[in-house]
Amino acid sequence: MALPEHRSTPTDTLGRRLHDLRLSVTDRCNFRCTYCMPKEVFGRDHAFLPKSDILTFEELLRLSRLFVGLGVEKIRVTGGEPLLRRDLPKLIEMLAGIDGLKDLTLTTNGSALAALAKPLRDAGLKRLTVSVDALDETIFRAMNDVDFPLARVLEGIDAAHDAGFGPIKINMVVKRGVNEHQIVPMVKRFSGPHYILRFIEFMDVGTSNGWRLEDMVPAADIVALIRREIPLAELPANYAGEVARRFRHADGGGEIGVISSVTQPFCQSCTRARIAADGQFYTCLFAATGHDLRALLRGGLSDEAIAKAIAALWRVRDDRYSELRSDATLALPKAEMSRLGG
C-alpha cells in the first residue's frame, strides 16, 4: 500500500532524500572556539535565545517523530554545546524511544562529559562525537579561548568509554598556523579500536569567524602530512555518499578520516536537515535563514499538516553552497553554526 504523501520520504530538486536530522538543543556554549564563536562577537552582551523561544523537549520529540516519519533514520543532537541543556538525558531517553529511528548520536566539546557520559548512555544514546583540536595544553586552551583544561575533556572521553560508548569519534578542526602540527600527535594518541579520528577542514560557516581560504589546510595535505610518519591504507566508503574519506593505520591501529567540505564538496549526496534550538528548519549549513517550524508547532497545526509543510520545504531544496563557494558566496549572509547546529 502506498504511504500517504506526508509519510513518504521526500526528495529534493537534486534527487537527494531526507535522511539525517541535526537537532540543536541550545545556541549557548561555554567555549569560544575561535573558528565558531569568537569572543569578540559572542561577548558578555551577546543576545542568546530567550528560554521561551527554545523548543521544549515535547516539541523536539514531536518534530523528531515527524522527521522520522518522513524518512530520517539518524538524529544527531548538537548545539551550541548540547550538554549545557538542562536534563539532556531525559530528552535522549525520549528520542531513543522513537519507532523507526536507527541511530541516535551527539556531538559535544566534552567539557561536561565526565559527569554526563553514563546518564546519557543509560538514556539510550548510541554513539558519541567529542571535539578535540589539540593535545598541547596551550594550543587547546587558545582554541577554546576560555582557558578550558584539556585534562577535563580527556576525563570525559575516558568516562564515555567506561559507560560503554565505542568507538568514540573525535573531531579536530585544522587551522593553518594554529594546530596543524598537532595532527600527527592526535593520530598517535587516538589510535586503536576505541577511536575514529576525523579531521575537518576549517569552513566559512557564519560570518563572524574571519574565515580566509589560506587558513584552511586541505584534506589532501592533512593525509600527506600523516603519511610522512604513519603509513595509511585507504578504506572503502561505508555507504554511498559518506562524507569522510577513510583510512586505517597500515599496521591495523585504528581509523582516521578527513572531511573535505571545502576542497571536495559533497553537496550531491547531502541528505541533512537541521533544526535550530528555536525551531528554525535549515536545509543547508550555509543558509542565511530557516523556516519557522516553531510557529507551526505552537500554532495548533496537526502532525499531518506540519509533516506536509516539512516535506514541501524539502522538495524545493536546491542548496549546494560548498559546490558554488567563491568570493561572491563568502559575502553572503549566513546563520552562525552555533545557532543552526553543527
- What are the residues binding ligand SAM (CB under 6 A)? 29, 35-36, 78-79, 81, 107-109, 131, 171, 173, 200, 202-203, 205, 209, 337-338, 342
Q: Tell me how far CA of residue 38 lies from CA of 44, 210, 237, in angstroms.
A: 12, 9, 34
Residue 191 vs 209, nearer CB to ligand SAM: 209
Q: Which of 33, 117, 132, 226 is the binder for ligand SF4 (CB under 6 A)?
A: 33
- Cell triple for 261: 567540505
Residue 36 vs 306, nearer CB to ligand SAM: 36
Q: How far apart, in whole angstroms, are the C-alpha atoms of residue 196 and residue 166?
A: 9
Residue 232 vs 293, nearer CB to ligand SF4: 293
Q: Which of 320, 334, 335, 339 is the binder for ligand SF4 (CB under 6 A)?
A: 320
Q: Which of 26, 109, 209, 260 is the binder for ligand SF4 (CB under 6 A)?
A: 109
Dump strand ranges (E) for 85-229.
Answer: 103-108, 127-131, 168-174, 195-201
- Count the residues of the shown chain that bind ligand SF4, applying the rule CB under 6 A: 24
The DSSP code for 174 is E
Helix (H, G, I), strand (E, B) or coil at 234: strand
Q: Which residue has the cell 576525563?
A: 155
Q: Applying CB under 6 A, does 206 fall inside the site for ligand SF4?
A: no
Q: How far apart, in whole angstroms, are the C-alpha atoms of residue 201 and residue 261?
A: 6
Q: Which does 37 bind (CB under 5 to 8 A by kind): ligand SAM, ligand SF4, none?
A: ligand SF4
Q: Applying CB under 6 A, does 165 fall inside the site for ligand SF4?
A: no
Find the Cα–Cα–Cα–Cα dihedral 191, 29, 320, 326, rounded to 10°. Answer: -90
Q: Applying CB under 6 A, does 266 fall inside the site for ligand SF4?
A: yes
Q: How far apart, in whole angstroms, are the C-alpha atoms of residue 292 and residue 24?
A: 14
Q: Which does 202 bind (CB under 5 to 8 A by kind): ligand SF4, ligand SAM, none?
A: ligand SAM
Q: Applying CB under 6 A, does 171 fall inside the site for ligand SF4?
A: no
Q: Applying CB under 6 A, does 178 fall inside the site for ligand SF4?
A: no
Q: Which of 23, 37, 54, 170 is the binder for ligand SF4 (CB under 6 A)?
A: 37
Residue 129 vs 191, nearer CB to ligand SF4: 129
Q: Which does 153 bind (CB under 5 to 8 A by kind): ligand SAM, ligand SF4, none?
A: none
Q: Which does 200 bind (CB under 5 to 8 A by kind): ligand SF4, ligand SAM, none?
A: ligand SAM
Q: Applying CB under 6 A, does 202 fall inside the site for ligand SF4?
A: no
- Cell triple for 66: 515527524
Distance from the first to the final alpha carbon of the chain: 37
Give residue number: closest CB to ligand SAM. 342
Binding positions for ligand SF4, 115-134, rule CB under 6 A = 131
Q: Tell me how far CA of residue 342 lies from CA of 63, 99, 174, 303, in angstroms.
A: 18, 25, 16, 26
Residue 83 vs 226, nearer CB to ligand SF4: 83
Q: How far apart, in whole angstroms, are the C-alpha atoms of residue 202 and residue 172?
A: 10
Q: Applying CB under 6 A, does 277 fall inside the site for ligand SF4?
A: no
Q: Which of 21, 36, 134, 335 is the binder for ligand SF4 (CB under 6 A)?
A: 36
Beta pairing partners, 174: 201
Q: How far apart, in whole angstroms, are the C-alpha atoms of residue 199 and residue 102?
A: 25
If one counts every other C-beta atom within 10 angstroms of the C-beta of residue 122, the result is 13
Do the Cβ atoms of 66 and 303 come closer than 8 Å? yes
CA-based nearest residue to 66, from 21, 35, 29 = 21
Residues that bind ligand SF4 (CB under 6 A): 29, 31-33, 36-37, 79-81, 109, 131, 265-267, 270, 272, 284-286, 319-322, 338
